[in-house]
Amino acid sequence: MNYSNSELVEELTELGYLKSQSLIDSFLAIDRKDFVPESLLEFAYYNEPLPIGNDQTISQPLTVAFMLELLDLKAGDKVLEIGSGSGWQTSLIAKMVEYSGGIAEDKDGRYGVISLERIDSLAQMAINNVSKYGFVERGVVKIINFDGTKGYETEAPFDKIIASASGKEIPQAWKDQLVIGGKIVTPVEESIVVLDKTGKNEFQKREFHGFAFVPLISG
Ligand code: SAH
């Protein structure tokens, strides 16, 4: 079992889930204990999902590492996340896309990460947690209480879209709100699907089986 964030990162690296240096740095900078309920702090660095209330969980670390490696984030990417939950993954993404000088300066005031959460109390929890790193205050992250199956038209298009809850199919809105050359990484049932947008209505698809997710709920 792991007793520190760096031990968790070491485990994920040894197991082969974390590969790129920028993502390893991001996992080291964002401490999982800042996103776990106080009563579960002793388990913060276990490679397990943990309950965060409202029948939802903070995702399993290996799943987050695997999906973020696939998402291939770069500084300056505009990202849509569906399912903020604890805000842990939101913060990992923010760390990857924020320019060292602050995203607002470099992107004409546009947010780097729009994160949608359908349960209001979790959206509030995510805002509190993500604020521990100043991402909300610096204008890198905006967390909105909204049904993510619709995407978020007012901030579209996005370079990258990632969901942490699983539906039966990928919503059309996500495909429409993605730039050509952009990428969606999302669960579909028990698989992780990667869609690369190669043309207006053209996508290349890859699929990885054998993961577990909470359901994507519409409305
Ligand atoms: N990556 C998050 C995972 C949270 S679990 C973390 O590590 O904390 C998935 C989240 O997706 C839950 O909080 C759930 O409420 C949310 N969710 C489910 N359906 C949704 C929808 N249609 N729109 C927005 N959020 C949704």
Q: Count of H helices and E strands in the chain? A: 7, 11
pTM over 0.85: yes
The kind and range of the H/E element at 96 are: helix 88-97
- Give, for all 219 residues of the chain, the pLDDT tens digit: 899 999 999 999 999 999 999 999 999 999 999 999 999 999 999 999 999 999 999 999 999 999 999 999 999 999 999 999 999 999 999 999 997 655 554 455 568 999 999 999 999 999 999 999 999 999 999 999 999 999 999 999 999 999 999 999 999 999 999 999 999 999 999 999 999 999 999 999 999 999 999 999 997
> Measured in angstroms, how far is the CA atom of residue 117 from the centroid of ligand 1?
6
Nearest CA to ligand 1 atom 14: 83
Domains of the chain (ranges; CATH) run 5-209 (3.40.50.150)
Cis peptide before 215 (omega within 30 of 0): no
Atom of ligand 1 nearest to the CA of 84: 2
Atom of ligand 1 nearest to the CA of 163: 11
Query: Which phi and psi angles does 124 have, rounded to 5°?
Result: -65, -40
Q: 3-class SS at 26?
A: helix
User: Which residues have C-beta atoms less than 6 Å from ligand 1?
Assistant: 56-59, 82-83, 85-86, 88-89, 116-119, 122, 147-149, 164-165, 214, 216-218
Query: Contact at 8 Å (CB) between 211 and 191?
Result: yes
Residues marked active site are found at: 59
Q: State residue 109's pLDDT score.
A: 55
Q: Furthest-apart CA pair in the chain: how many Å? A: 48
